[in-house]
Amino acid sequence: MKERPQTNGNLIPIQASTQSICFACGQENPHGLRLHFCTAQAGESAAEWTPTSFMEGFRGIVHGGIVSTVLDEAMSKAVAAAGLRALTAELRVRLRHHVPPQRQVQVRGWITGQSKRLIKTEAAIMDAEGSELAHGWASFLTVEGLASPELQREPCGPTTIRAASSLSLPLDR
């Protein structure tokens, strides 16, 4: 398994803020997660996320499907940050510890490999102490003519920049 890339703090302030109705990242979807991703460099993404109680499955535990959606989106944004247009073809998630609502977590996605149309990615959700709560692996397939999220050069918020630069902790898995 390829190691999670280290960031050196030289973050590129790019925020994927189009695809306005995207359930995960669309800023105009009132029912969506409205995640803001930034890229540290091509093939990487980062965001901070504070799930709400409405996202619970069991009481006090954010639904695993929502956690999977966030991991999928982090990987999708890492793909987009590499200038690739692709759809998720396969997704695997390890829910290591429950994600609690109302607490901010850090999300990170990165590309681990590419061969022809196939792009391999991983993602992680970490709590404030740096413990990994969930890990995702996905395969994307490039699709010609697919409208990709435009990467807009807008300043990343300081919290997202902190997320991108603080997730280079060693993983215990």
Ligand X SMILES: CC(C)(COP(=O)(O)OP(=O)(O)OC[C@H]1O[C@@H](n2cnc3c(N)ncnc32)[C@H](O)[C@@H]1OP(=O)(O)O)[C@@H](O)C(=O)NCCC(=O)NCCS
Q: Can you read off the two tokens belonging to residue 170? A: 């060693």
- Residue 72's Cα: distance from chain center in Å? 6
128 interacts with ligand X by CB under 6 A: no
Of 22-30, 87-95, 128-136, 149-157, the segment contacting ligand X by CB under 6 A is 87-95
DSSP state of 58: S
21 interacts with ligand X by CB under 6 A: no
State the nearest-atom distance from the C-beta of 118 to ligand X, in Å.
5
87 interacts with ligand X by CB under 6 A: yes
Nearer to ligand X, 61 or 118 (CB): 118
Give how far Cα 29 sits from Cα of 7, 17, 22, Å: 31, 12, 7
State the nearest-atom distance from the C-beta of 151 to ligand X, in Å.
17
Binding mask 91-120 for ligand X (x = CB under 6 A): --------------------------xx--
150 interacts with ligand X by CB under 6 A: no
Q: Where are the alpha helices (DSSP H) in 40-153?
A: 64-81
Question: E-strand spans in the chain?
Answer: 12-16, 38-39, 44-49, 86-95, 105-115, 118-126, 132-142, 151-152
State the nearest-atom distance from the C-beta of 147 to ligand X, in Å.
12
H-run or E-run covering 163: helix 158-166
User: Could you list the residues that contact ligand X (CB under 6 A)?
Assistant: 87-90, 117-118, 139, 141, 143
